[in-house]
Amino acid sequence: MSPFPFLTTLVLLPAGAALVVAILPSGLGERRRRIAAQVIGLAGALGTLALAATIAVRFNIKDAGYQMVSDHAWARSLGVSWYLGVDGISLFLVLLAALLFPVALVAARTRTNLHSYMAWMLLLEAVCIGSFISLDLILFFVFFEASLVPIYFIITGWGFEKRSAAAMKFFVYTFLGSAFLFVGIVVLALIHQHDTGVLTFSLPVLAHTHMPYYVQVLLFLSFTAAFAVKSPVFPFHTWSPDAYAEAPTGGSVVLAAVMAKMGTYGIIRFDLNLFPKASIDLAPLLLTLGVAGIIYGAIVACTQKDLKRMVAYSSLSHIGFIVLGVFALTSEGMAGGVIQMVNHGLIIAVLFLAIGWIYERTATRDVSRLKGLQKPAPLLAALFTVGMLAAIGLPGLNGFVGEFLILLGTFITHRWWAVVAATGVILAALYMLWAYQQAFHGKPEEEAVKRTKDISWPELLVMAPLVGLVIFLGVYPKPVLDRITPSVERLVQRADRAAGVHQPLLSRKVALPASRLHVQHAAHTPGAAVSGYTGYVGASRLRSFWTASPVGSAGVSSAGVGTGALTSAATGNVQYGWTPYGSSRIRHALPYASLLGIASPFYPGGSADRHLGLVTPLTSHCCVAIAGSDTVR
Amino acid sequence: MVYAAWAMLALPLLGFLVLLAFGRRLGDPVAGWVGTTAVAGSFVATLVTFGGMLSRHAGGAREISHSIFTWIAVGGLDIKAAILTDPLSMTMALFVTGVSALIHLYSIGYMKGDRDYSKFFVYLNLFVFSMLLLVLGGNLAITFVGWEGVGLCSYWLISFWFERPTAASAGKKAFVYNRIGDFGFLIAMFLIFEKTGTLSYSGIFAHLHALSGAAGTAAVLLLFLAATGKSAQIPLFPWLADAMEGPTPVSALIHAATMVTAGVYLMCRMHPLLGMSHSAQLVVATIGVVTAFVGGTIACTQRDIKKVLAYSTISQLGYMFLAVGVGAYVAAIFLMVAHAFYKGLLFLGAGSVIHGMHDEQDLRKMGGLARFMPITAGTFAVAWFAIAGVPPLAGFFAKGAVLDNTFAAYPVLWVIGIVTALLTAYYLSRLFVLAFTGDPRFIEAVNTRWLSSGSTHSAGADPDSGGRITSGSAGAAGAFSTTGRASEEAGATGGSGMATPGGGSVEEPHGQGSSHGYPSPHESPKVMVIPLLVLAVLALAGGVLELPWHGPDTIRLLSWLHPVFGHYLYTAHLSIASQWILAVVDSLVALSGIYIAWRLWTKAWDRPKLEPSFLFRSWFINEAYDLLIGRPGDRLASFTTAVVEVRVVDGAVNGAAALTRNAGEALRKLQTGFVRQYALGITLGMVALLAWMLVRA
């Protein structure tokens, strides 16, 4: 635990700034209150950014668990605690939020009621960040819900023509989704209390709740309902085009770039941690929704005349990719999903800001009226182009890194989903370039377009960090991926463990001549166990299965590993011996194994005996196969 | 040497960045010289690398891979930013940088006075960087970066004059067709990674056995799909003709000499994989030769000078894939290099003509240009004989190598190939005759407007054809019609439609002012003529790279590329006698093609019967796409938006809302306007809860 409560401050700083801005006395006079709101608001947002950056710097790259945890019992009788922590999955979402809020505050010039706009935005920042770092389910729910309030007022207060209807639809829709979440949380905690006698909402503790399989599935569905609406996942998206289009520029930026991520983040953080088995079994459902979203969003985006709505539907497509990556349940896919959340946030911020500026200049977002915009405003066109190309997934820009990892990770476990999803790459080019051609190419006809001023220096300055990151993350995503990967791999392992015998790949992969690669890598690299394994197909679902191989190749039947693999086989969990941490990890895993061994009667497929019956032959088959291929060389 | 290899890449990138930042300030012509210098420097770096490589022993020591950083590494995936220099990539790099430098030089003259002069060189330098990345990439992923990069530059450069709707559409069309190919590339990468656990070339080739059987065939065919996109083969070739909307140096560099050969390069690079699957190879060979034939037939009927050359390129690329398919990789590379010389020259010559004619591209309005622009005509003639396959020019040897190997492997394909050779000689001769010989027709063309009535196709000629495209596809889902509509319109209006000279409606490429009155053709300036002369020498003598009677030890393409292709060398095990016979047949075919065209086209310049509509409109491929994909796609999209989205997805939500509305009083209030209060309620409740918790904590 860090001595300084970084995370708590991270939430309280923008919240405090919001409070200060909100209670600025009206006696100051309109002008001075405006300036004060601007100064305090920006200072609060930038301070939060600085703090988030500090956290990123202090973040321990090797630690897969929660860092800088602050855990204070709060409402003890209710089991609620102020429990915050950050890991590789949430770190960059926090950074994203901390970066985009000041950008949204500066970029979107709001003319009326500036101080209340500032206050709502800062409050929204506090709850967004809070939701990304909450490790207590109730605390998360509070933040998750509370985010609706400021955005509702931002849309109704500063939005476009149909703002009330859009805001209402958004509010009611997401709120109904959240109801499922709330019920789910309470039921889960009660089950846990029933089992252990302890009432708690702590995520790490609840993750070990034993429950009948059907309950797990039901709870998974109720959690996912809320997250799917928030993300939004197809077909729960109809609030989003309206809300994105009607919100003011700053509002749409944070709504699409940050708030929507609460949904996908919730899926990763809560669904996979709490219901790993249900997540795996229902993955095909979610994968299908993801793919459907990719294609559907793209098709509908093709027909949009309003640039902002076009981007909104493209966003549906991108969220589909994120969902796909997560439920591929491979390290590559999930890491891709996590980085794609950040990428999508940056990309959509660039696009919405550009569109916002276009609207400010021409008073239209209709592509047919914008015709020829590139001529009067080449720089604006260039910025839009960068966002567009990143959204299309052009290598060298950030979108590609995420999409590539997602599709690759999905291909390994769910080949045909990946193949269908990859057609989204073609469609994305189609609707984006079509919209670009209509809006920017050709000869300008409308007077407003002809007179359009290119972007100013301050605007360029605001956009610069976003565009810079879009390029940087495309060229050198390593710093981000290095921090995401450990946490993601831990989560994937957890899902793997829960999967138990449900390992569809096991038999298919046995025949592969994999171990040759292991041997080569192992020979070249010090710390052979680590890269030794990873040389093979990166799906870490297979990883544990290959346990015996890399280590074994170093010293053919290392006793510890052998025992580990055998024991885990005996307990009905092939998945234990995960190699990257070496064989010691396997021994660590043993208590876990017995734990799940006890739990196994709850799983369908019945008793531990049946697990044994299924697993043992498979495992031994694998071990023999590996041993065989190693000895041959 | 490794540093020189990185310098190859770094210099064009540097040029790109400098021009991006300061290009506008540097202006015309300094920006052009900066760009040219960067690429010329890259060429020098390539020469240095090449020299370093020559000094190494041929057996294995010439293959160097070097990485500077890890690009994407997660789990089992480890992609490095790595380059691979070996004889194959060096061959590519040499001609890519060399030809690029010449075309940069040419562009200084060609683009003079253009409003976006510096931007042109920004794109061009980025293109060279991407192309080198593609060629030098040490793994499939880096090659893919280059692959997409050149596609992007191609998009930008085709729609360089973006105010012209046809140019904008053509750029988009190129990008989308290429994206279809990229889909294949992506899936191929995933498949290969799944099977072998790596994407680096050396890693893949070390684990080829994992790709035996169906997986290998699938991987080859998927990569070939990518190649058909980039290299404009059946079924993805229609974009290349439209791509002629770009400035002519772009057509020469990207759409003739370098980028479009990327597909061939990819196939050669992955040749060990191709060797795993004979059925896939046969597919490649067949598609190649059929494309060569189809492209050739279309080229015989085009009236736009650049379109003739575009379809000729498609046809020649087909030959290269034919060579790849029969396993004659060296022949494919040989033809690629030779083609870069003579097709680059043809395009630059055409550019010179267009330049001199003030943006006239219609062959029927030319004639007799040889006396106005002798150097252009002379160099053009060299390229004409080279591509026709007249001995002893480069094309004769290169095409001969391809055809001989085909004859040894699949005689049926050879027959198609030799027929195509006849077509090649014919259409290029037709072009030369129409443009450079006979009486000048441009004077009458302006004075009397008989052209529109003089032919079947130009009946619907519409100077502002572009306007129709936008209005025509302004329907709900016009995005889908990218596949076909642009060129359908262009086709419908005939060759003259897109090349409407002068007039305010068309952007003047080189800022020479509109062509009022009739054009007065003139020879191009020195910066444009010098590249023509250099390329003419190369096209003339390029054959020395690989002469059949060279011994095994001399420096020739075959022995130079031996470390790469190893035993996948010539399949031709033909006797000397049959090789001689084939060579004679090739020459006779070339000469008879030239003779036929000469007889036909010197007598009359307008022969509609020889230009059937079916061929003129590219076998109706655009119409077919439009019918099969474009329109159904439009309809599907409109239906989805208007019906599914509104009635089903949103309708279900509204229905559910209505249901709940009836279900409960509390929810009813929620739905009918109490949201605001409710939001306030949440806030207050939350505040109270927090306060309470804070107190207790």
For the residues of A139-180, what is the DSSP string, one character each? HHHHHHHHTHHHHHHHHHHH--TTHHHHHHHHHHHHHHHHHH
A340/A324 Cα distance (integer angstroms): 11
**End-to-end CA distance of chain A, in Å?**
49
* pLDDT (average), residues A423-444: 92
Q: Is A245 in the same domain as A379? A: no
Tokens 């359908």 appear where? B488
Closest-approach residue (CA) in chain A for B694: A74
Is residue A48 a contact partner of residue A70, using CB atoms and an 8 Å limit?
Answer: no
DSSP assignment letter at B137: B
What residues make up the domain containing B691? 669-697
Q: Above 90 in pLDDT, residue B179? A: yes
Q: Is A341 in the same domain as A225? A: no
Chain-chain contact of B476 with A303 (C-beta, under 8 angstroms): yes
* pLDDT (average), residues B44-66: 84
* DSSP three-state, residue B200: strand
| Chain B residues closer than 8 Å to A433 by CB | 155, 172, 175-176, 482
Q: What is the pLDDT of residue B551?
A: 57
Beta carbons within 8 Å of A301's beta carbon, 6+ residues apart:
A310, A313, A314, A316, A317, A431
Interface of B with A in 191-210 (CB under 8 A): 191, 193-198, 207, 209-210
A117 occurs within a structural domain: yes
B697/B694 Cα distance (integer angstroms): 5
B185/B155 Cα distance (integer angstroms): 19
Among B292, B304, B375, residue whose Cα is nearest residue B339: B292
Residue A527 gets the label, from left (phi > 0), alpha (psi -120 to 50) or beta, of left
Mean pLDDT of chain B: 82
The distance of A360 to chain B (nearest Cα, Å) reads: 23
B672/B689 Cα distance (integer angstroms): 27
pLDDT in tens, A398-426: 999 999 999 999 999 999 999 999 999 99
Q: What is the pLDDT of residue B430?
A: 93
Q: Above 80 in pLDDT, residue A526? A: no
Q: Above 80 in pLDDT, residue B68? A: yes
Among B431, B338, B332, B322, residue whose Cα is nearest residue B392: B338
* pLDDT (average), residues A371-398: 93
- Final residue of a structural domain among B111, B137, B163: B137
Q: Above 60 in pLDDT, residue B137? A: yes
pLDDT in tens, A277-325: 899 999 999 999 999 999 999 999 999 999 999 999 999 999 999 999 9
pLDDT level of residue A36 (50, 70, 90 thresholds): confident
Distances (CA, A) of A440 to A101, A381, A444, A452, B302: 28, 7, 9, 12, 31
Count Cβ atoms below 10 Å from residue A455 Cβ, excluding itself: 23
- Final residue of a structural domain among B113, B137, B161: B137
A360 occurs within a structural domain: yes
Nearest by CB to A168, from B141, B179, B675: name it.
B675
Distances (CA, A) of A100 to A94, A123, A388: 10, 14, 18
Q: Above 50 in pLDDT, residue A607? A: no
Q: Using a CB–CB cutoff of 8 Å, tell me whether B482 touches chain A.
A: yes
Q: Is A385 in the same domain as A438? A: yes
Is residue B487 a contact partner of residue B165, using CB atoms and an 8 Å limit?
Answer: no
* DSSP three-state, residue B566: coil
B64 membership: H or E segment, kind and range: strand B64-74
SS3 letters across A109-122: CCCCCHHHHHHHHH
ipTM: 0.86
Count Cβ atoms below 10 Å from residue A536 Cβ, excluding itself: 25
Tokens 């994206």 appear where? B179
Q: Is A25 in the same domain as A68? A: yes
Alpha helices in B212-304 (DSSP H): 214-230, 238-242, 248-252, 262-269, 271-274, 278-299
Phi and psi (nearest 5°) for B74?
-145, 135
Alpha helices in A537-603 (DSSP H): 540-543, 548-554, 559-570, 583-599
B685 occurs within a structural domain: yes
Beta carbons within 8 Å of B635's beta carbon, 6+ residues apart:
B477
Q: Using a CB–CB cutoff of 8 Å, tell me whether B661 touches chain A.
A: no
Distances (CA, A) of A235 to A232, A296, A315, A319, A611: 8, 9, 13, 12, 37
Is residue B507 a contact partner of residue B309, using CB atoms and an 8 Å limit?
Answer: no
pLDDT level of residue B612 (50, 70, 90 thresholds): confident
Would you state the torsion angle of the CA atoms of residues B381, B385, B388, B389, taken in this order, to the nearest 10 degrees? -160
Q: Is A405 in the same domain as A554? A: no
Q: What is the pLDDT of residue B576?
A: 81
Chain-chain contact of A437 with B168 (C-beta, under 8 angstroms): yes
* DSSP three-state, residue A3: coil
Q: Above 60 in pLDDT, residue A341? A: yes
| Percent of the residues in chain B that have a pLDDT greater than 70, as a whole number | 80
* pLDDT (average), residues B4-15: 91
- The residue with greater pLDDT, A477 or A179, is A477
| Chain A residues closer than 8 Å to B480 by CB | 302, 430
B105 occurs within a structural domain: yes
For residue A202, list its beta bridge partners: A136
Q: What is the pLDDT of residue A44?
A: 93
Nearest by CB to A434, from B198, B479, B638: name it.
B479
pLDDT level of residue B678 (50, 70, 90 thresholds): low
A277/A213 Cα distance (integer angstroms): 8
What residues make up the domain containing A411? 283-490
Chain-chain contact of B480 with A302 (C-beta, under 8 angstroms): yes
Q: Using a CB–CB cutoff of 8 Å, tell me whether B504 touches chain A.
A: no
A294/A313 Cα distance (integer angstroms): 9
Q: Is A345 in the same domain as A214? A: no
Q: What is the pLDDT of residue B569?
A: 56
Chain B interface test: which of A437, A508, A510, A525 (most B C-beta within 10 Å): A437
Q: Is A154 in the same domain as A72? A: yes
Q: Above 80 in pLDDT, residue B452? A: no
* pLDDT (average), residues B645-674: 66
Q: Is A177 in the same domain as A50? A: yes
Chain-chain contact of A299 with B73 (C-beta, under 8 angstroms): no
Q: Are strands A80-86 and B64-74 parallel, antiparallel or unpaired?
A: unpaired
A495 occurs within a structural domain: no
Chain A interface test: which of B24, B77, B123, B158 (most A C-beta within 10 Å): B77
A550 occurs within a structural domain: yes
Is residue A513 a contact partner of residue A633, using CB atoms and an 8 Å limit?
Answer: no
- The residue with greater pLDDT, A579 or B33, is B33
Interface of B with A in 440-479 (CB under 8 A): 470, 474, 476-479
Beta carbons within 8 Å of B433's beta carbon, 6+ residues apart:
B597, B598, B601, B602
For residue A86, list its beta bridge partners: A67
Q: How many domains does chain B have?
A: 2
* pLDDT (average), residues A21-49: 87
A300 occurs within a structural domain: yes
pLDDT level of residue B670 (50, 70, 90 thresholds): low
- Give the number of beta-carbon pairs within 8 Å between A and B: 220
B247 occurs within a structural domain: no
Chain A interface test: which of B74, B159, B212 (most A C-beta within 10 Å): B74
Alpha helices in B437-458 (DSSP H): 442-447
Chain-chain contact of B152 with A331 (C-beta, under 8 angstroms): no
**End-to-end CA distance of chain B, in Å?**
68
Q: What is the pLDDT of residue B694?
A: 58
Q: What is the pLDDT of residue B568?
A: 55
- Final residue of a structural domain among B105, B120, B137: B137
B624 occurs within a structural domain: no
Q: Above 50 in pLDDT, residue A518? A: no
Q: How many domains does chain A have?
A: 3
Q: What is the pLDDT of residue B657?
A: 67
A153 occurs within a structural domain: yes
* DSSP three-state, residue A1: coil
pLDDT in tens, B73-131: 998 899 999 999 989 999 999 989 999 999 999 999 899 888 889 999 999 999 999 99
Count Cβ atoms below 10 Å from residue B690 Cβ, excluding itself: 14
Interface of B with A in 131-160 (CB under 8 A): 141, 144-145, 148-149, 152, 155, 159
Nearest by CB to B645, from A300, A374, A396: name it.
A300
A152 occurs within a structural domain: yes
A284 membership: H or E segment, kind and range: helix A283-302
Nearest by CB to A171, from B476, B477, B675: name it.
B675
Q: Looking at chain A, how many residues does it have?
A: 633
* pLDDT (average), residues B222-251: 93
Lowest mean pLDDT among A14-23, A260-269, B545-554: B545-554
Q: Is A67 in the same domain as A88? A: yes
Chain-chain contact of A332 with B76 (C-beta, under 8 angstroms): yes
Q: Above 50 in pLDDT, residue A527? A: no
Q: What is the pLDDT of residue A603?
A: 35
Among A587, A406, A2, residue whose Cα is nearest residue B74: A406
A73 membership: H or E segment, kind and range: strand A67-75
pLDDT in tens, A529-581: 333 333 333 344 433 333 333 333 333 333 333 333 333 333 333 333 333 33
- Final residue of a structural domain among A248, A281, A314: A281
Q: What is the pLDDT of residue B637?
A: 87
Q: What is the pLDDT of residue B603?
A: 83
Is residue B333 a contact partner of residue B557, using CB atoms and an 8 Å limit?
Answer: yes
* pLDDT (average), residues B380-402: 91
CA angle B553–B558–B559, rounded 5-degree value: 40
Return the biggest CA–CA distance within chain A: 86
Q: Cis omega before residue A477 (within 30°)? A: no
Q: What is the pLDDT of residue B690?
A: 62
Q: Is A63 in the same domain as A99? A: yes
Chain-chain contact of A476 with B71 (C-beta, under 8 angstroms): yes
Closest-approach residue (CA) in chain A for B640: A300
Q: Is A129 in the same domain as A211? A: yes
Q: Is A536 in the same domain as A400? A: no
